[in-house]
Amino acid sequence: MSSTHPSNRSIAVFIDFENLALGFKDRQGRFEIKYVLKRLLETGKIVAKRSYADWSRFSSYTFSLHESAIELIEIPKRSQTGKNSADIRLCVDAMDLAYSKDHINTFVIVSGDSDFSPLVSKLKELGKHVIGLGMTDSTSALLRDNCDEFIYYEDLVPVPDAQTTIPLSKTVTEPRRNAFNMLFDALAALRRDDREVLGAALLKNTMCRMHPGFNESQFGYRSFSSFLQDAAKEGLLELTLHQKSGTWVVARFGDEMKTPPAPPASDSSPPIVVRAVTSAPPISANVSEPITTASAKTSSRSQNSQRPSVKRAEESNLDEPSVPLSETSESKTETPPDVKAVVRVPQPRAPSRGPAKAAPKTPAKPASTPVSGAKTATRRRRKPAKKSGE
């Protein structure tokens, strides 16, 4: 089955009207195209509608087909064009749209003739979603099994006794009653397509596709959300808020309101915080933080309490080969080995008596005399030279 989502389908409808006429030959009533189009509009948007027949033989159906905006393709009499001229023309037009219009992803073949089986296989080969529709008595099993989906016309005709009436109060006006009927038609169509989340936007698009003239303002509502809230006040449906978008979502409607609500999902329940109790980590060899005197005393006491037990164990195991103490302690207990930690004991401070006196300043050493001054001093100390006459 094709992975095309129902809300993104662009549908092309091809009707082999002569085959449908053969199915209605021995039946009472007339073929109503509105039931076919209503069912197809629930699954997507119809962009092309064509019907093939010799309309001189079926002139009584041309008015209803024209009202539904269906293009009537005239096929002359069989004596002039041949037996399968309508089938060949339908196949040619379908393949033309399949190759030329990429946006058309769904093809509906309204016929029960097995001659269209190769057409269905070719459309599926091109990645198209194919839906078959025909009468129960005049439908070939080969065509039915080759389609992605097949709809019987008898299932589309509403049964008068099986029609469900919406429970409304007498104060509801006739226009509002019609609006609620349109709403229920769209909700039933979405449920038929296995849609779990019935958001307000999706619901309005479906209603506008099924009823192009729908507008909530003509019924006295300012927005579609107020229209849904009014339906909820009447007890027709149950609304919830979407967690991410914050828009209205229809949770239940119609007969679903009679059943008790489902329990909340696991993700909606508040999270349970579990706090695990972990043991203190062992003391590492590199102790960076100082240890107080109280903790040092407790550690020394614990070590002194363990010394007699160690001596007793040594005396009891005199005959056994000597084993280092570290190995015996590791084998018996899983406590980490002894770690020599540096204990820093804070020195007591002398009580302060009054403001602290400033330390006496040492006199600065005199700066050394420059070299030039030393030279002048030595020059002055020199005695004058004696004259030759003295």
Task: Return the axis-axis angle of helices 117-125 and 85-100, rounded to nearest 10°.
Answer: 10
Q: List, in sequence order, every residue forming a beta bridge with 134; answer none if it has no partner.
A: 152
Indicate whether 231 pLDDT > 50. Answer: yes
Tokens of 306: 């363990």
Run of H or E residues at 234: none
Tokens of 193: 């397509």
CB neighbour burial string for 248-278, b if at least 16 within 10 angstroms, e if fewer = bbbbbbeeeeeeeeeeeeeeeeeeeeeeeee
Nearest to 157 by CA among 64, 70, 38, 25: 38
Residues 6+ apart with CB under 8 A from 201: 247
CA distances from 137 to 84, 112, 118, 120, 132 (A): 21, 9, 21, 20, 14
pLDDT digits (tens, 9 = 90+) for 269-305: 444 333 333 444 444 444 444 444 444 444 445 555 4
Indicate whether 360 pLDDT > 60. Answer: no
Candidate CATH numbers 1.10.540, 1.25.40, 2.60.40, 3.30.420; the one for domain 164-257 = 3.30.420
In whole angstroms, give the CA distance from residue 166 to residue 177. 9
The chain-wide mean pLDDT, for the chain, equals 73
* pLDDT-derived band at 164, boundaries 50, 70, 90: low
Q: Is 350 helix (H, G, I), strand (E, B) or coil?
A: coil
Please report the DSSP string for 51-68 in residue order.
EEE-TTT-GGGHHHHHHT
Residues 6+ apart with CB under 8 A from 142: 114, 117
Q: What is the mean pLDDT of residues 163-191?
A: 81
Q: What is the mean pLDDT of residues 209-213?
A: 85
pLDDT digits (tens, 9 = 90+) for 33-67: 999 998 898 888 999 999 999 898 888 889 999 99
| Residue matched to tokens 């009447």 | 234
pLDDT digits (tens, 9 = 90+) for 56-100: 888 888 999 999 999 999 988 765 556 678 889 999 999 999 999
Q: Domain spanning 6-160: which CATH class is it, in words?
A: alpha beta
Greatest alpha-carbon pair distance for the chain in Å reads 175
pLDDT digits (tens, 9 = 90+) for 296-332: 444 445 555 445 444 454 444 444 444 444 444 444 4
Query: Which of 14-23, 77-86, 97-106, 252-261 tops mean pLDDT?
Result: 97-106
In whole angstroms, give the CA distance from residue 293 to residue 298. 9
Segments in the chain forming alpha helices (H): 17-23, 33-41, 62-67, 78-81, 85-100, 117-125, 141-146, 174-192, 200-210, 224-233, 293-316, 325-332, 371-381
Q: Is the pTM of this model over 0.75?
A: no
Tokens of 130: 């194919």
Cβ atoms within 10 Å of 350's Cβ, excluding its own: 6
* Domain ranges across the chain: 6-160, 164-257
State residue 206's pLDDT score: 87
